[in-house]
Amino acid sequence: MRIVVDAMGGDHSPKAQVAGAMAAVQAFKDIEITLVGSEPQIKKHLSKTERIDILHTDEVIDGDESPTKAIRRKKQSSMVLSVQEVKEGRAAAGISCGNTGAFMTAGLLHIGRIHGVERPALAPTLPTVDGTGFLLLDAGANMDAKANHLYQHAILGSTYMQLVRGIENPRVGLVNIGTEKGKGNNLMKETYELLEHAPVNFVGNVESRDLLDGVCDVAVCDGFSGNLVLKAIEGTASTLFSLLKKEFMASLRTKLAAAMMKTGLMHLREKMNYSNHGGATLVGLQAPLIKCHGSSDHISVYHSIRQARQMVQENVTHLMQQHLEE
């Protein structure tokens, strides 16, 4: 199985991508990896070449470029070439830490949607207190969604969590301003009615404050709301650990307390680290594409490769289409 990685996207490219790729080929003997990007820059960090190839290009799509214009003008960019490797069957899945909109646009133009999917979704797995995690979709791909789009996302998300995360009967919740039926705007009310009759384990409305407690396994919402939830969770986690660090470093007494609690604090930080769950899947495309956070390190890249490998092994894309047609 070959997985292609856009080595030039993100804040820590290509170092993070190269290190993540080397860790992945060491952990999984059944995969090969193609790194797409500047060969001289990649080779500076590449100490292991077994089952790792380089597809050279000097062209890169920047994070602030217009997605559609960038994809059309930069056809030799590392991102576009990565997606084309998947389209043409030379790779089974693709990964990028670059421009999210451009990656989704490249996926739509070159790979296409699963039959029956109107709007693919961006779906990251976020941590919960029990370590299981929940899938949030849509996290920003579609700002203006219709009830039918969210209905499809619920089915796609449920299938993903069942096959990739191993949850037998995933609980699907609709992110809303209250748990009672009838809450929210017209979109939420219409979606609720559809999900009541969907072939998923629908548990009703859920509030964003309860998501980290594991109230559901799949949290469905429109892209605007989902992106707000995602950024709020990321910001809260970052601020919380910054505050803890500040308090523990305030005096000799608190420093001693921090030293005694170091193992527990490290364990807590590891449990709440979204990087350990991999990247955000572009759910609804005909082949697995995974979008890593722009600030991803080698650990996140490694887990995204692991995630892509499992999606290919479990034939997730094909089964998603089957479930939509049922």
Which tens digits make up the pLDDT trace of 199-223?
999 999 999 999 999 999 999 999 9
Q: How many helices (H) and strands (E) does the chain have?
A: 12, 12
Q: Using one digit for the tens of pLDDT, what is the confidence trace for 223-238? A: 999 999 988 888 877 7
Looking at residues 98-102, what average pLDDT do you find? 90
Query: Could you tell me what percent of the chain has a pLDDT over 70?
Result: 94
Q: Residue 8 is which amino acid?
A: M
Per-residue pLDDT band for 323 (boundaries 50, 70, 90) equals: confident
pLDDT at 9 over 70: yes
Domains of the chain: 1-117+284-326 (3.40.718.10), 122-274 (3.40.718.10)
pLDDT the model gives residue 73: 92
Residue 72: closest CA among 59, 85, 55: 59
pLDDT at 301 over 80: yes
DSSP code at position 107: I
Q: Which residues touch 191 (CB under 8 Å, ≥6 apart)? A: 147, 150, 151, 174, 220
Residue 200: closest CA among 268, 257, 151: 151
pLDDT at 280 over 80: yes
Per-residue pLDDT band for 282 (boundaries 50, 70, 90) equals: very high
pLDDT the model gives residue 273: 60
pLDDT the model gives residue 275: 59
Judged by DSSP in three states, 108 sits in: helix
**Torsion of Cα atoms, 64 then 66 then 72 then 74, to 10°:** -10
pLDDT at 325 over 90: no
